[in-house]
Amino acid sequence: MPAVRLLLASGSVRRRDLLTRLGADFHVVPASIDDGQLSPPSTASAISWTMAMAYLKARSAAQELAPGSSGFIVGADTACELDGRIIGKPTDENQARQMLRSMVGQSQCVVTGVAVIDASQPRGPRLVVADVARVTFGMIYEDAIDRYLVTGAWRGKAGGYNLTERIGDGWPITVEGDPDTVVGLPTRRLGGWLGHAQSWGAPE
């Protein structure tokens, strides 16, 4: 990954963990928006929606910075798409149960949109992109779903689940593509995207 200073426009522990694993130099500047309170229009695709949300988060974080700040602001948003429907974060346990039930025995697309903007010129050049992974759930029985739901671990997660935790708990889940895209940040492609952003001449 290019040696650039990153400002992560996200309070997600999972995204912080992914950047830490990459050895990235980053600081967290959470976006001042609650994406869980926003709903995509029925005509939106998961790709267009997550890209728009990622950019909104990056611009929101830029407003929190002091004038003259440098580096690249990275915003990200993740959503699932099943049977043409966008599935975001569940608002309560019942909705989380419905989401998980709908995924059993099915394949879904998980999309993470990413926006990169220059902190020194937030209205200047931007990169808004997305990566897609395909996730397939095997047979997951009702009692396993119930045991998971009572933990509350479904909160704040697109589709109501964290990939690494669910596989670690023995759920039969397979992934085509970058598993980190499902977790919340496409690390396989992030370095290339940041390398492109460096051509804007932003300070490191």
**Which residues have a catalytic role annotated?**
77
In Å, the largest CA–CA distance within the chain is: 54
- Partners of residue 131 on adjacent β-strands: 112
CB 11 within 8 A of CB 19: no
The three-state (H, E, C) secondary structure of 22-53, written as one string: CCCEEEECCCCCCHHHCCCCCCCCHHHHHHHH
Q: What is the dihedral of CA 9, 15, 20, 22, to 10 degrees?
A: -100
Q: How far from the centroid of its chain's Cα atoms is residue 196's Cα?
A: 20
